[in-house]
Structures are given as structure tokens and as C-alpha cells.
């Protein structure tokens, strides 16, 4: 019977990195909590950095799909992004944006994890520009960058305030911006 070691490592790493931080979680803890042996770990990943990059890449894919699905379910207007975020902020265990957290932990822009997180933010900004363009807003690129600034601010503020209110405030600012 297959042990699904890679999937267990990925799931455990995503949970632990998000809850405790990338640097705080060592390989020994990952092995212990996932129940995967050291040889199996190294069969799937070159090391912890490789695992971190793989986890963030997968989280990027899942998060952007969830965002697109959530916005579409709310009518597809660019402001629906903030309603999607408000729902996320109310979830138990919300610990901020995994990508902002990763950039803060890594610190230097040359690190692969930092580049991955920056690419995630760029892809979300491109998605916002497409939403704005579809909704008929001109200057979608600069507007998308402004909305991204509001989103990142809401992500961090929601962590500090432990509520969905920052998404509602950011939505009000975005609505004024788009008016």
C-alpha cells in the first residue's frame, strides 16, 4: 500500500509553516508530525528549502484558484475580492498572508522563496487588472496596483485586528477609487 509520503509531507509542512513560520519548523519536526521517514523525505525533496518552495508554489496555485472561484461566485466584480477576503479573515487560524509572511521571514530579495512570493503578488495583481478590464475600467494596470496595495494592507491589518473589518474598510476605499 502506498504511503503517500509526499502528500503527508506537503500537508504537514503547509500547516506548520503557516501556523509557526518557516524558520521555526525544522526537518525533524516535519518528519515526526508527518510520520514520514528521513529517507522518504529526501527521496521527494532535496531539502527543506525545496519543500518550502514546493509548498508555496502549490499554495499559490490553490489560493489564486480559490480567489477566482470566490470572486466569480460573488458576481465577478473587482470589489468582490474584498468580500472573499473578509470571509477568509473570519476563519479560525487565520495567520495573515503566507506569502507576506514568507517574504518577511526570508528577508532578502534574491532568495527563491522571496521570488516565489513576489511572483504570487504579481500574478494576483494581473488577475485584478483582468477583472478591472472586464468590468470596463480604464487604466486597469495602475488601478490593479492600487487595489493590491489595499489588499495587502487588509491582509496584514486583519491579522493585527483579528477581524474581517479591514476587508470591509478596504472595500469602501476601493469603491471610492473606482467611482
Mean pLDDT of the 95-101 span: 94
**Which pLDDT belongs to residue 3?**
65
Q: Are residues 53 and 97 in the same domain?
A: yes
Note whether 77 and 152 are same-domain residues.
yes
On average, the pLDDT of the chain sits at: 94
Is residue 1 scored above 60 in pLDDT? no
Residue 2 has pLDDT above 80, yes or no: no
Cell of 80: 468582490
**Does 135 lie in the same domain as 170?**
yes
pLDDT at residue 138, as a whole number: 86
> Are 63 and 36 members of one domain?
no
Residue 5 has pLDDT above 80, yes or no: yes
**Residue 87 and residue 171 share a domain:** yes
Q: 75 and 153 share a domain?
A: yes
What's the whole-number mean pLDDT along residues 15-29? 94
Q: Is the domain of 139 the same as that of 101?
A: yes
- CATH number of residue 128's parent domain: 1.10.357.10
Mean pLDDT across 98-126 = 93
- Which of the two residues, 109 and 130, has the higher pLDDT score? 130
| Count of the separate structural domains present in the chain | 2
Query: What's the mean pLDDT in 93-109?
Result: 92
pLDDT (average), residues 109-135: 95
Question: Can you list the alpha helix ranges (DSSP code H) found in the chain?
Answer: 5-20, 27-34, 38-44, 48-73, 80-89, 98-106, 112-134, 140-161, 165-178
- Mean local confidence (pLDDT), 118-145: 96
Q: Please tell me whether residues 11 and 56 are part of one structural domain.
A: no
What DSSP string runs through 113-130?
Answer: HHHHHHHHHHHHHHHHHH
- Exposure class string for 142-174: b at 16+ Cβ within 10 A, else e: ebbebbbebbbebbbbbbeeeebebbebbbebb
pLDDT at position 154 over 90: yes
pLDDT of residue 106: 87
End-to-end alpha carbon distance in the chain: 58
Statement: residue 45 has pLDDT above 50: yes
Same domain for 65 and 13: no
CATH number at residue 30: 1.10.10.60
The average pLDDT across 51-66 equals 96
- pLDDT at residue number 108: 87
Check whether residue 70 and residue 154 sit in a common domain: yes
Domain with 128 in it: 47-178
Q: What would the mean pLDDT of 41-68 be, rounded to a whole number?
A: 95
Amino acid at each position: 500500500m502506498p504511503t503517500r509520503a509526499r502528500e503527508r509531507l506537503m500537508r504537514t509542512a503547509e500547516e506548520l509553516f503557516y501556523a509557526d513560520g518557516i524558520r521555526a519548523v525544522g526537518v525533524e519536526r516535519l518528519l515526526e508530525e508527518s510520520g514520514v521517514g528521513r529517507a522518504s523525505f529526501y527521496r521527494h525533496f532535496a531539502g527543506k528549502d525545496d519543500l518550502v518552495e514546493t509548498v508555496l508554489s502549490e499554495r499559490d496555485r490553490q489560493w489564486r484558484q480559490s480567489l477566482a472561484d470566490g470572486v466569480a461566485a460573488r458576481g465577478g466584480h473587482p470589489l468582490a475580492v474584498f468580500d472573499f477576503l473578509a470571509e477568509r479573515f473570519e476563519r479560525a487560524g487565520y495567520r495573515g498572508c503566507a506569502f507576506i509572511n514568507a517574504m518577511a521571514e526570508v528577508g532578502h530579495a534574491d532568495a527563491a522563496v522571496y521570488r516565489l512570493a513576489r511572483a504570487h503578488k504579481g500574478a494576483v495583481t494581473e488577475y485584478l487588472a483582468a477583472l478591472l478590464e472586464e468590468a470596463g475600467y480604464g487604466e486597469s494596470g495602475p488601478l490593479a496596483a492600487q487595489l493590491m496595495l489595499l489588499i495587502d494592507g487588509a491582509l496584514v491589518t486583519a491579522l493585527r485586528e483579528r477581524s474581517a473589518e479591514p476587508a470591509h474598510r478596504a472595500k469602501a476605499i476601493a469603491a471610492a477609487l473606482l467611482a
